[in-house]
Every structure is written in structure tokens, then in C-alpha cells.
Chain A
Amino acid sequence: GDSVTQTEGLVTLTEGLPVMLNCTYQTIYSNPFLFWYVQHLNESPRLLLKSFTDNKRTEHQGFHATLHKSSSSFHLQKSSAQLSDSALYYCALSDMNYNQGKLIFGQGTKLSIKP
């Protein structure tokens, strides 16, 4: 079945350093739709960015990610971490053509930014 893998459970960084959170996926569908959701403490998950276009960079709120179908990856990056980036980040997968809307989430990566 479909699955999403986030290899890091916890990432701790100093403010100002670059952020990279890994996400790889497995799916039988040819048109995967990838998402990053962010969940701050005591809040519900909300969409950060999304993409279904191969090799095209998508950006939002200083974060960016590029879907690479050849490597089944959708890593999240930011050039300079801020304290307010501390949160739980989920990578998620859906299929554009079938079961659209049902998201399969990875385990989540907790990002902790230190001053």
C-alpha cells in the first residue's frame, strides 16, 4: 500500500541555520500529490505547501520543497530557521486521480529551534 517515510523523529537546530526535513514515499499511483502540514503546539495541523508537478519547486512562508518522482522524495527546506518554526511537521501523500483527498501521513518530524 501507499506509505510515507520521514526518517527523523526529532531535529534540533540553532536559529539561523538551514532546515531540511526528509520525506520519501511509496505509491502505486502515477500521479502522487505531496503535502507538508505543520502543527504548532496545541494547534491542529494546517497545510504548509503542496505539489504534484515533478521537478518544480514550490514555496510558502519561507519554506520550499521540490517533488522528485525519480527518487520518490519531497524534502522540506528553509534557508534560515526561526524560533517560530518549532513545530511538528508531517509529510503526506494523496493520489490526484483516485481517492483524492484521503491523505497518508508520515510519522512526523518534530523541529526544535534553539536560540
Chain B
Amino acid sequence: NAGVIQTPRHKVTGKGQEATLWCEPISGHSAVFWYRQTIVQGLEFLTYFRNQAPIDDSGMPKERFSAQMPNQSHSTLKIQSTQPQDSAVYLCASSAHRGNTGQLYFGEGSKLTVL
């Protein structure tokens, strides 16, 4: 099992540019989560999908952040007009729905730096 795969591992953007982060969940997992990790805030929930449907995006900054899950093997997080405060490690996680006990399997993260 390859685990959750996130690309790119590192991305540097200029202020105002767009950043797109990709996530491939563990095969067979039906739920995909996005979290943002910073030293100050810790792990912040952004959004999640179950069976590709958006379930809860309550943690997403509404104006510039968007997430998609076009198929069961792929999710993207897009940040438009990036700002320095968007600099963080963005973690994707997946979990199995059937028999789910809430355990998340995290990818290695995409470190975004906005200059």
C-alpha cells in the first residue's frame, strides 16, 4: 500500500499567484480530508469529501480557497491570490468509510511558502 500521496512536496509562490496542491488517497478509502499545519495554529481542519461528495468545508477560507474531488483517486486544493499568511504545510488524509473508527492516514504534506 503506497499510502496517501501528495504533490508537490514543496511549492514556493509569489504573493498573488495561484497554488494547486494534489492528493491521491489510499486506494479503497472513501473519505479525504485536508488540513493545514502551522506552528502557531497546529492542525486546522479545512474540508473533507466522502465518496467524492463535499461534506464539510467549514474550515475553508471562503474567498480564495477551493477543493475538488473529481474522482475517487484524486483531490485538489486550490488557493487563489496567495498571501504570506497562507504559508503552511497542507496535509491530506484519507480514511475508510466502512468500519470507520475515525483513524486518518496522512500524507507527507505539501509545504507552501508564499513570498
Spell out A's residues near B (CB within 8 Å). Answer: 33, 35, 43-47, 50, 90, 92, 94, 96, 99-108
* Beta-carbon contact of B109 and A101 below 8 Å: no
* Beta-carbon contact of A101 and B100 below 8 Å: yes
CA distance in complex: A34, B27 (Å): 25
Name the interface residues of B41-78: CB closer than 8 Å to any CB of A: 41-45, 48, 50, 55-56
By secondary structure, the A interface counts as: loop
Sort A-B residue pairs by CB-CB distance and give the 6 closest, nearest first. A44-B106, A105-B43, A94-B102, A107-B42, A108-B42, A101-B95
Which single residue of chain B is at the shortest CB-CB distance from A6? B42
Total CB contacts across the A-B interface at under 8 A: 59
Which single residue of chain A is at the shortest CB-CB distance from B35? A105
CA distance in complex: A45, B48 (Å): 17
* Beta-carbon contact of A33 and B101 below 8 Å: yes
A47-B103, A99-B56, A101-B100 in contact; A106/B109 too (CB < 8 A)?
no
A93 to chain B, nearest CB (A): 9
* Beta-carbon contact of A106 and B42 below 8 Å: yes
* Beta-carbon contact of B100 and A105 below 8 Å: no
Beyond the given A103-B104, A105-B42, please list 5 additional residue pairs across the A-B interface where CB-CB is below 8 A. Answer: A101-B31, A101-B33, A101-B48, A102-B48, A108-B42
